[in-house]
Chains A and B, each alone.
Chain A
Amino acid sequence: MNAIAGQKPGLIWALRISVILLVGLWMFPTVGLFVSSFRTGDQIATSGWWKALFPTEQNLTLRTAAPDTQVQEADLFVIEGNLFEEATDAKISAWGTNAREIDAYGPGDTAELRGGERLTVAADGSYRLQSAQEMSGGRGPRVFVSALVPPEFTLQNYETILISGGSTDNLARAFFNTLTVTIPATIIPILIAAFAAYALAWMEFPGRALLIATIVGLLVVPLQLALIPLLKFHNEIGIGKGYLGVWMAHTGFGLPLAIYLLRNYMIGIPRDIIENARVDGATDFQIFTRIILPLSFPALASFAIFQFLWTWNDLLVAMVFLIDATGETTVMTKQIVELLGTRGGNWEILATSAFVSIAVPLAVFFAMQKYLVRGLLAGSVK
């Protein structure tokens, strides 16, 4: 497609750089979430995700080991160990034992505690606590440290979301339920809409303009309004809450956009092709299946992608028409909203669950893209 010959090299570079900038801008928020999903809650709360690769200065509240680990050395009672529970390369720059002054001492200094104990903390976190009397209590004293903590990434968040067994956390069933909702809810409206769009684009009949206008008008009907009357209707005809109902609802709600997009595309197909076919004696049904459908493939593919994304990401329709009081037909978005509700303050869980929820739509998009591009090229026949 190198259409414009003789472009200046400078312009091409400007073009490349602006595309990179634009893509960068668009990617940035999502990348932030992606990086955050591999960090611990403490890290997210203390440093920006763009600094995730660098060591960060953190203020931590740690404890020495409990008094029941003390050993007697001559007339002293001693507790020794490392403040960091796991081996780490963190370097302590300052520490303190009182919330009044959390950076009172440097590494290697010795502090005297309220009870008369003496505490020495080294830069690597190893400490020695000694006392003339036997120490008591359930826990060791607090030590506030300011430390340079090396970057650390974890898969713990994904484990919590995907594997840990609680009923709210387990996404496996919801995943298959969502697929069950999504696939029929994508295919059926496309089929119905394609026929209708053809009729509206290429068939002459009275009231056509009015119908098109009505469909455009229906595009804007807010979903929230349709919920109660339609659920009532479903209950009356005996469908109740379930997959059949949610498929029908998604079909109904998706149709206006499908018809609108497909009709606008089909009307761009050159008149000659259709006229010639008519002259050759083809029926409308044949014209539709043999000419219009293949030519409209890009539009069909685009709509399929949009409808898939919409049904996959939908929460409202599923909650009203599908999820009943037994809770067995829950979908992904519902599970994630539940996680938001119960773990709302935790960025790491939010980030991870948001990422899990977009994995499939992204995969579908990248898989369908090939067809989309091929379809777009076929569309350039006109």
Chain B
Amino acid sequence: MHPAIQGLLTIAFGVGGCVGYFYLSNIILDTLIFPARGKDIARNIRRANMVRPWLFLLPALLALGLYLAYPVVETMRLSLTERLPGGGSEFVGLANYKQMLAEAKFWEALQNNFLWLLVVPAASTAFGLLAAQLTDRLAWGNIAKSLIFMPMAISFVGAAVIWKLVYDARPPGTEQIGILNAVYIWLGGIEPQQWLTIPFWNNFFLMMVLVWIQTGFAMVILSAALRGIPEETVEAAIVDGAGPFQIFFRIKVPQIIGTIVVVWTTITIVVLKVFDIVFAMTNGQWQTQVLANYMYDKLFVARDWGVGSASAMMIMLLVLPILVWNVYNARREMR
């Protein structure tokens, strides 16, 4: 069968199947199992309402369980075992973790990851908020937004190509084709710099790529939130004589703080998984290793699944604060 036809059929079956499932299961629940009539009407409605959330959740839970939760459990198991030649594996306790903690590269990755966590979400959100606010009232604001959002449409591999051109260095004396070195020389720099090989600072040159990509995301979401702010609050502030900066920081930002946190969290998660950019631009050399790339190295280059899985668990550990904070938030909403 031609893939295009197969694709159309899948869309039809997939979408039809989903809609059908949700629709029919609700009908069955409401009319056959717990009919909302007769003498048990109150009890039936209550029971139906207890079951319904699970009907809504079932497909999502199945997919999540299979595609994400199961691999997590499997990873945890792998991180505690060592594979034996010829198949099979043995339980080794925390040996993989011990080995990982003894590696200098791991600590370098961890340190860099913290640096990424500090810089990228903050910078992306700040730039995104700035862009959202500035473009909000311009007639051509949407065009400006589209252009800032554009990097979001570029794959990480494509972005790596773009930024390699920016950071490119040619031998001294020849003309520079990387804009950064051209500007550097123009400003009076003597030798062109190999930006990606300068320890510590090269991390920032890599982060710049992700900030460049993620700012568009932050901007789109925050711009929607800014438009949701009731006009009256802003107008009241103007009447009170507040300047534009006061309006922005005192009136607008507090009202969208929830959205800011969501954007921040989302970008934080992207940062924790950042892999393609580092992989394509430096592969963790010149002290730019990050955890996701370290894990990839261990899994597919060194083929040491034990340590690879252990480093994956490490990434999970880092996300734990976000997780706890979200549980706390969810609880508060319940009340």
A/B contact in complex, CB under 8 angstroms: yes
**Chain A contact residues, CB within 8 Å of chain B:** 1-7, 11, 15-16, 18-19, 22-23, 26-30, 32-33, 36, 44-50, 176-177, 179-180, 183-184, 187-188, 191-193, 195-196, 198-200, 203-205, 208-226, 229-230, 233, 243-244, 247-249, 251-253, 255-257, 259-261, 264, 267-268, 283-285, 288, 298, 302, 306, 309, 312-315, 329, 333, 336-337, 340, 347, 350-351, 354, 357-358, 361-362, 364-366, 369, 372-373, 376-377, 379-380, 382
For B14, the closest partner residue in chain A by CB is A188
Separation of A337 and B217 alpha carbons in the complex (Å): 25
Q: Cβ of A15 and Cβ of B162 under 8 Å apart?
A: no
Interface pick from B98-106, B190-198, B199-207, B314-322: B314-322
Separation of A284 and B29 alpha carbons in the complex (Å): 12
For A257, the closest partner residue in chain B by CB is B266
Within 8 A of A (CB), among B184-243: 212, 215, 217, 220-221, 223-224, 227-228, 231, 234-235, 238
Q: Cβ of A26 and Cβ of B147 under 8 Å apart?
A: yes
For B273, the closest partner residue in chain A by CB is A222
Given contacts A187-B11, A205-B53, A217-B316, A45 and B177 within 8 Å (CB-CB): yes
The main secondary structure of chain A at its interface with chain B is helix
Shortest beta-carbon distance from A2 to chain B in Å: 6
Q: Cβ of A208 and Cβ of B334 under 8 Å apart?
A: yes
Q: Cβ of B3 and Cβ of A220 under 8 Å apart?
A: no
**Contacts of A382 on B, CB cut-off 8 Å?**
228
Q: Cβ of B142 and Cβ of A362 under 8 Å apart?
A: no
Partner of B19, one of A46, A191, A230, A306: A191
Q: Cβ of B309 and Cβ of A225 under 8 Å apart?
A: yes
Shortest beta-carbon distance from A224 to chain B in Å: 6
Interface pick from B65-73, B84-92, B107-115: B65-73
**Contacts of A284 on B, CB cut-off 8 Å?**
26, 49, 52, 56
For B333, the closest partner residue in chain A by CB is A267
8 tightest Cβ-Cβ pairs between the two chains A and B? A252-B67, A313-B155, A196-B60, A361-B153, A199-B56, A226-B71, A213-B327, A220-B319
Separation of A313 and B6 alpha carbons in the complex (Å): 22
Within 8 A of A (CB), among B121-159: 127, 130-131, 134-138, 141-142, 144, 146-158
**Contacts of A18 on B, CB cut-off 8 Å?**
134
Q: Cβ of A222 and Cβ of B244 under 8 Å apart?
A: no
Within 8 A of A (CB), among B288-335: 292, 295-296, 299-300, 309, 312, 315-316, 319, 322-323, 326-327, 330-331, 333-334
Separation of A259 and B56 alpha carbons in the complex (Å): 12
**Contacts of A209 on B, CB cut-off 8 Å?**
327, 330-331, 334
Partner of B66, one of A49, A233, A267: A233
Partner of B221, one of A11, A302, A364: A302
Q: Cβ of A249 and Cβ of B327 under 8 Å apart?
A: no
**Contacts of B296 on A, CB cut-off 8 Å?**
224
Q: Cβ of A313 and Cβ of B147 under 8 Å apart?
A: no
**Contacts of A11 on B, CB cut-off 8 Å?**
244
Q: Cβ of A217 and Cβ of B319 under 8 Å apart?
A: yes
Q: Cβ of A212 and Cβ of B326 under 8 Å apart?
A: yes
Given contacts A26-B147, A354-B154, A358-B153, A205 and B50 within 8 Å (CB-CB): yes
Partner of B138, one of A16, A230, A364: A16
Most B Cβ at <10 Å: residue of A183, A216, A218, A225: A225
**Chain B contact residues, CB within 8 Å of chain A:** 3-4, 6-7, 10-11, 14-15, 18-19, 22-23, 26, 30, 49-50, 52-54, 56-57, 59-61, 63-64, 66-72, 74-75, 127, 130-131, 134-138, 141-142, 144, 146-158, 161-163, 165-166, 175-179, 182, 212, 215, 217, 220-221, 223-224, 227-228, 231, 234-235, 238, 244, 247, 258, 262, 266, 269, 272-273, 275, 292, 295-296, 299-300, 309, 312, 315-316, 319, 322-323, 326-327, 330-331, 333-334
Shortest beta-carbon distance from A57 to chain B in Å: 9
**Contacts of B72 on A, CB cut-off 8 Å?**
218, 221, 225
Q: Cβ of B179 and Cβ of A30 under 8 Å apart?
A: no
Q: Cβ of B149 and Cβ of A365 under 8 Å apart?
A: yes
Separation of A267 and B131 alpha carbons in the complex (Å): 26
Known: A36-B165, A358-B153, A365-B152; 13 extra A-B contacts, CB below 8 A, are: A29-B162, A30-B150, A30-B162, A203-B52, A220-B269, A220-B319, A221-B72, A224-B275, A224-B296, A224-B299, A255-B64, A315-B157, A357-B158
Shortest beta-carbon distance from A217 to chain B in Å: 5
Q: Cβ of B147 and Cβ of A351 under 8 Å apart?
A: no
Q: Cβ of A32 and Cβ of B162 under 8 Å apart?
A: yes
For A58, the closest partner residue in chain B by CB is B175
Q: Cβ of A221 and Cβ of B152 under 8 Å apart?
A: no
Q: Cβ of B156 and Cβ of A212 under 8 Å apart?
A: no
Q: Cβ of A351 and Cβ of B165 under 8 Å apart?
A: yes
Q: Cβ of A218 and Cβ of B69 under 8 Å apart?
A: yes
Given contacts A26-B212, A366-B146, A4 and B244 within 8 Å (CB-CB): yes
Shortest beta-carbon distance from B28 to chain A in Å: 12
**Contacts of A257 on B, CB cut-off 8 Å?**
266
Q: Cβ of A220 and Cβ of B316 under 8 Å apart?
A: yes
Q: Cβ of B26 and Cβ of A380 under 8 Å apart?
A: no
For A44, the closest partner residue in chain B by CB is B177
Q: Cβ of A298 and Cβ of B224 under 8 Å apart?
A: yes
Given contacts A196-B60, A222-B273, A3 and B137 within 8 Å (CB-CB): yes
**Contacts of A193 on B, CB cut-off 8 Å?**
60
Given contacts A22-B131, A212-B326, A229 and B56 within 8 Å (CB-CB): no
For A219, the closest partner residue in chain B by CB is B269
Shortest beta-carbon distance from B64 to chain A in Å: 6
Q: Cβ of A213 and Cβ of B60 under 8 Å apart?
A: no
Q: Cβ of A180 and Cβ of B177 under 8 Å apart?
A: no
**Contacts of B234 on A, CB cut-off 8 Å?**
3-4
**Contacts of A198 on B, CB cut-off 8 Å?**
56
Q: Cβ of A3 and Cβ of B231 under 8 Å apart?
A: yes
Q: Cβ of A29 and Cβ of B165 under 8 Å apart?
A: yes
Shortest beta-carbon distance from B65 to chain A in Å: 9
**Contacts of B330 on A, CB cut-off 8 Å?**
208-209, 212-213
Separation of A200 and B19 alpha carbons in the complex (Å): 19
**Contacts of A288 on B, CB cut-off 8 Å?**
56
Q: Cβ of A358 and Cβ of B326 under 8 Å apart?
A: no
Q: Cβ of B68 and Cβ of A218 under 8 Å apart?
A: yes
Separation of A19 and B150 alpha carbons in the complex (Å): 15
Given contacts A28-B179, A44-B177, A180-B3, A229 and B74 within 8 Å (CB-CB): yes
Q: Cβ of B67 and Cβ of A1 under 8 Å apart?
A: no
